[in-house]
Structure 1
């Protein structure tokens, strides 16, 4: 008898599950709609910048795996980054609603076969209305981004 009672109370009913899911959906909708337009665009711009960083980190790991150098070309006023692999294969990274701004100290970055960068410097890229500074660290072989103040 005890075994039959325990079996009846093991799981949620479909109605309870739908109720919980509808409440979660409602709270999610309310939290998204509470963001004003500028906050949404800031979040969207930041995700585009982080996506570019992840693409560059992928290229760094590809250079290590293939034991070939990879060169990134950043041309001022362009909305794309040219990627040259081992001086043969040229591909393009398109910057969605992005444009490369005035680069004061660099426009070419080379990642060698060990994943190290050839120089230290910064590149400014504007996504939508937000300006980001991409900082390449030669001693760490890494990249970080900073959101610039207007």
Structure 2
């Protein structure tokens, strides 16, 4: 009985010490937004490879959305930006071909809080990197 109380005391103490240090989740944070955009681009590329058809990614600067459409121009997926803002210059659209390559290369510019973030797409490789 004493051992059980001692164990309960230790576990309670550890929980009380660690709970204040758990980071607070911030809804619509810049980091989450960049991850979501990254997943959207990767998802479009994986769809192109899996379905063996091309998918076009559009950056809509007026609505602040990124849209993925298939060959028939039907909307496959889209993401509305909340924490960041698409800048009017840079890459406006590109296509993931059925082999996963991109039809264009360039940069998608975002302004997140006071930072400038760039999604840089490599020539024909279908790969991108994020710079801030």
Pick the TM interval, shorter chain: 0.7 to 0.9
What does residue 20 of structure 2 align with?
29
> Runs of 5+ in structure 1 lacking a partner?
1-11, 34-39
Deviation sequence 1:58-96 (CA, Å, 0-9, x none): 111011111111111113343211211122311422122
Deviations 1:80-117 (A, max 9, x none): 1121112231142212233211323x211110011101
1:39-78, aligned counterparts within 5 Å?
Answer: 44-78=29-63
* CA 1:65–1:22: 2 relative to 1, 3 Å: farther
Aligned residues: 128
Counterpart among 107, 124, 127 of residue 92 in structure 2: 107
Do the aligned residues in 2 keep the contact of 1:80 with 1:99 (CA within 8 Å)?
Answer: no
Looking at structure 1, the residues matched to 16 and 101 of structure 2 have their Cα atoms a distance apart, in angstroms, of 45
Normalising to structure 2: TM-score of the pair? 0.77
Indicate the structure (1 or 2) with the bigger Cα radius of gyration: 1
CA distance in 2 between counterparts of 1:47 and 1:140 reads 25
* Structure 2 unaligned spans of 5+: none
Identify, as 1 or 2, the structure richer in helix: 1
Cα RMSD over matched residues? 2.9
Give the direction of change, closer, same or farther, for the CA distance of 1:56–1:94 in structure 2 (3 Å limit): same
Query: Which has the larger strand fraction?
Result: 2
Following superposition, the deviation at residue 133 of structure 1 comes to 0.4
